[in-house]
Amino acid sequence: MKLVKVFLLLFFISSLGIAQQKLLEEAFIRASNEGFSGVVLVADQGKILFEKASGMRSYESNTPLQKDDIFEMASVSKQFTAMMIMLCKEKGLLDFDDPVSNYLKIPYKGISIRHLLTHTSGLPDYQAIMDEHWDKSKIAGNPEILEYLRIYAPPILFKPGERYEYSNTGYVLLGSIVEKVSGKDFVVLSKEWIFEPLGMKNTAIRSLDEKSKVRNFAAGHLKDENGNYVNANRFRASDYTLWLGNRKGPGRVSSTAQDLLKWDQALYTNKLISSKTLEEAFSPYRLKDGTRSYYGFGWDIEPKSPFGKMVKHNGDNPGYQTIIVRFIEENKTIIILNNNAHPAMMRLVEAATLSFGRK
């Protein structure tokens, strides 16, 4: 009798899991029918539960998307920049509370590396400055961005540590600090310190020319005036990816869903840094007024999700939307890479979360 009860219980649990996964399957089919183009990967304890691709690698050549295609990560890249800073810290090259002015010449005082990591620096938007003043027939990188910050010195938005305001400028400075303290190129060092040790063979910080030579690079797409998807590079909104094509820190990592899962799982180990240092990345920042800002080092933080503490980050480039969600107390992961700016992405995140069931 006990054996029968155990069998029935196992059958119930199995059926429940199938039903929950069906929710995600149905949500994915619905999104695909609505035109979603991208890859969805869901894992539990590092084991892939769901991995599917839908849509087109290139609409113009009518090339179907594959699960191992490479996408632009956009601001999901920031977690790798933050990791580079943490690696520098563990190598004794810097401390998080060091003044940025110790390493870079900038026209702003009282900003620490921690302020840059947590988006609490108050720095103005570098892209607005470059858009107004830069000669767009040339390609700018971090040295040029820093030079224009010094030349035009737009006012700081608020005193460092007073509040949170998302800052791409801060992550440009972080990339430059890594180069300053290491004496090496940020692109080369990211490969040497992160991508190669973790076996992320399809991940790199690629130039536009390098991307064009990657066979399975999923182009970003937007709709033209006729409602047809075309390469996002045709639109004015994408121009900055050309004339700011050498920037390092706030974006430009390109990767696959499988490589992001390798990255995710490595963060449960000491392969890169100690758990003590990593915990700082997943901790809120206390502002000057005593309140907390729930952005750590390259991660948005949600202390109480359906599965305990959650950290996540999304990215948004012309034609691309990306997200990685990590329920770090339960080792559950959601990765969605989209290359036609489709509105179904967050709906898929919700369906993927429901597919895990409840605690």
Own/partner long-range contacts of 291-297 (Cβ < 8 Å, ≥24 apart): 293/118, 293/119, 293/120, 293/163, 293/164, 295/118, 295/119, 295/164, 296/117, 296/118, 297/79, 297/82, 297/85, 297/86, 297/117, 297/118
Please tell me which residue in 37, 54, 75, 355 is annotated as part of the active site: 75
Q: How many residues does the chain have?
A: 359
32 is catalytic: no
Give the strand pairing for 332-338 and 320-327.
Answer: antiparallel
Q: What is the rounded end-to-end Cα distance, in angstroms, of the chain?
A: 28
Q: Are strands 285-286 and 308-317 parallel, antiparallel or unpaired?
A: unpaired
Beta-strand ranges (E) seen in the chain are 38-44, 47-54, 56-58, 63-64, 71-72, 204-205, 221-223, 229-231, 253-255, 285-286, 292-293, 300-305, 308-317, 320-327, 332-338
Active site residues: 75
